[in-house]
Amino acid sequence: MSLQDNVHGDQSDRYEESDLYRLRHTAAHVMAQAVLELYPGAKLGIGPPIADGFYYDFDLGQDEAGNRRTFSPDDLEAIERRMRQIIASRHLLVYREIDVDEARRLFQDQPYKLELIAELAERGERLSTYRHDTFEDLCRGPHVAHTGKIPPDAIRLTSVAGAYWRGDEANPMLQRIYGTAWPSKRELKAYIRRVEEAKRRDHRRLGKQMELFHFDETAPGMPYWLPNGLKILRELIAFWREEHEKRGYQEIAAPLVNDVSLWKQSGHWEHYRENMFIIPIDEQRTYALKPMNCPNAMIVYGLKTRSYRDLPLRLADTDVLHRRERTGTLHGLLRVQHIQQDDAHIFVTEEQIEEEYNRILNLVDRFYDVFGLTYQLRLSTRPERFIGDVDTWNKAEAALKRILDARFGPENYQIDVGDGAFYGPKIDIDMADALGRQWQMGTVQLDFQLPRRFGLTYVDENGEDQTPVVIHRVVYGAFERFVGILIEHFNGAFPVWLAPVQAVVIPITDDHHAYVEEVTAKLRAAGVRAEADLGGERMQAKIRHAQLLKVPYMLIAGDREVEAETVSLRKRDGRRQNGMAVEAFLQMVEEKVHRRAVEI
């Protein structure tokens, strides 16, 4: 099963048609003009609007020592000042279409533009430009009417980073300036506050602070789960297993490495090989680390004769997958090369498709409600490269549209044309986190193709062989990404049932160590993830350390607590309760864990 590893925000078809998109697109052009004026000889890459802003890529060439020139923070301030001057002049944005010869003359000193012109000409596409003031750029638009439409106090250049031309490491490294633009200064300030809050919640910072995971240069994009992080992962999987057992899923596990003949049969070798880790064995054999679980599920289904009475057959797994990603795209737990999914492949008859999809969507509601998350759905249709015949694809897409129309209404989901998997259309789940950011997480894919390629059948009511349909689905998505998003969503302050350490027992002095150890042992025996802090620091330092680790409960023990066989409870949010019986604390924790409460 293939997941799209990008963030979906206002970067949609509706965004591209919006005034905000036009404003940011024009701001990118204004920035490019400012750079060319301040740095004569700079070479232009591309400069599109993106979610929450825009960027433009530049090649500043080399200095006298042969080092590639880069922008400094002071440079960004100067560029921003010049942008405001250009904006104030209210230059009209003028569109015109040009032929190939004129395009080459216009951009004769811009090698990256010439490369784009050659490709567009080869594909027979129309060439067009937008001009304002002295600046003209190869562009299809759209833009605002004039530069004065950009509020000068609502733009901000935010950062600069290296970016390979067209994302290819074999190409030159360019300088990418990121910026943002908004309809008002108030909206810019609100955006800056969101960015600051996102930095505070960054899962990479919190993951290190809370000792959850580690990335090592010897295994890029492949996390080490540290003890605290592994506890979170295990709790998520335990919850997953519990809910799937209730719904008749059967868990399987399959080999990590498979001969390429399997991937050729499934179609992944043709459509996904560049994203696979390939292992040559000898002249006759080549293996590959599996990037998907789908072919293995086909093998398990085909092990014996199946009847219509066996369907739906729900096979689920949490196997490890590996997918090759460009080094520059890796991003903490959110974009990795080692992936563990809550995968399932459900074999159904055509008549069972709609009922099974509704069962899956009920499961999605259950999972997302537990974490206080909301979601939206997208129908992703046939891509340019696909397997099977168009009629079957049309039938599959029509089935998914009927399901979404009946359950949510025709206006309450998006259609993402051409973004389906190569073997079938899908319903993608876009999840909103605490900051309102959209992430693609789960996906539910309808597949008429793979069962045919693997020769799978079931015996129908009339004793005849029929081909099943398979539904590929994940709900969490990749566990790595889901944990990363949960860290940021909760700001590291996990609900009690997920918290790696649920309680820390802290003595006031060394005289109370024995009682603290006794209480800790009692908590652990009852299933609470508890630790005793018996280090040499003072009590307040131990409390601060527990707060740094976002531990839900701190249990303080001194003379009064020892005598009364109680503890003084201090919650993560600062609330306190003195003289609490240990049994009462255990009952409170058990109740919150049982219902998987978000609050502490």
Active-site residue set: 294, 323, 341, 343, 345, 426, 472
What gap in Å lies between CA 58 and CA 175, rounded to an integer?
5
Q: Contact at 8 Å (CB) between 289 and 276?
A: yes
Residue 500, preceding peptide bond in cis (omega within 30° of 0): no
E-state strands within 359-482: 374-380, 414-416, 426-432, 438-447, 458-459, 465-466, 469-478
What gap in Å lies between CA 559 and CA 58, rounded to an integer?
68
Please give the single-letter amino acid code of residue 590.
Answer: E
Token pair recorded at residue 254: 């399959």
Show the CA angle centred on residue 118, arms to residues 116 and 119, nearest 5°. 65
Q: Give the contacts of 334 (CB within 8 A, at least 6 positions apart).
A: 5, 203, 480, 481, 484, 485
What gap in Å lies between CA 527 and CA 230, rounded to an integer?
17
Give the residue carrying structure tokens 């506050």: 193
Give percent helix, percent strand, percent coil of the chain, each to the nearest 5. Answer: 40, 25, 35
Please give the single-letter amino acid code of residue 209.
Answer: Q
Q: Contact at 8 Å (CB) between 127 and 138?
A: yes
Q: Helix 353-370 vs helix 227-246: angle between axes, to the nearest 10 degrees?
A: 140
Give the residue carrying structure tokens 């240990």: 582
Alpha helices in 371-467 (DSSP H): 390-408, 450-453
CA atoms within 13 A of residue 513's CA, in its CB half-sphere = 6
Give the residue carrying structure tokens 């049309």: 394
| Phi/psi-derived region of residue 448, left when phi > 0, alpha when psi is between -120 and 50, beta in every other case | alpha
Please state the φ and ψ torsions of residue 180, each to the nearest 5 degrees: -140, 155
Q: Helix 353-370 vs helix 390-408: angle between axes, to the nearest 10 degrees?
A: 50
Kind of pairing between the strands at 553-557 and 503-507: parallel
Helix (H, G, I), strand (E, B) or coil at 385: coil
Q: Contact at 8 Å (CB) between 344 and 406?
A: no
Burial of 450 (0-12, 13-18, 19+ CB in 10 A): buried
Cα–Cα distances in angstroms (integers) from residue 449 to residues 77, 293, 298, in the given order: 55, 15, 11
Give the residue carrying structure tokens 């602070």: 209
Q: Give the contacts of 87 (CB within 8 A, at least 6 positions apart).
A: 30, 147, 148, 150, 152, 155
What gap in Å lies between CA 297 and CA 314, rounded to an integer?
10
What gap in Å lies between CA 488 and CA 577, rounded to an integer?
29
What gap in Å lies between CA 15 and CA 55, rounded to an integer?
16
What gap in Å lies between CA 222 and CA 339, rounded to an integer?
8
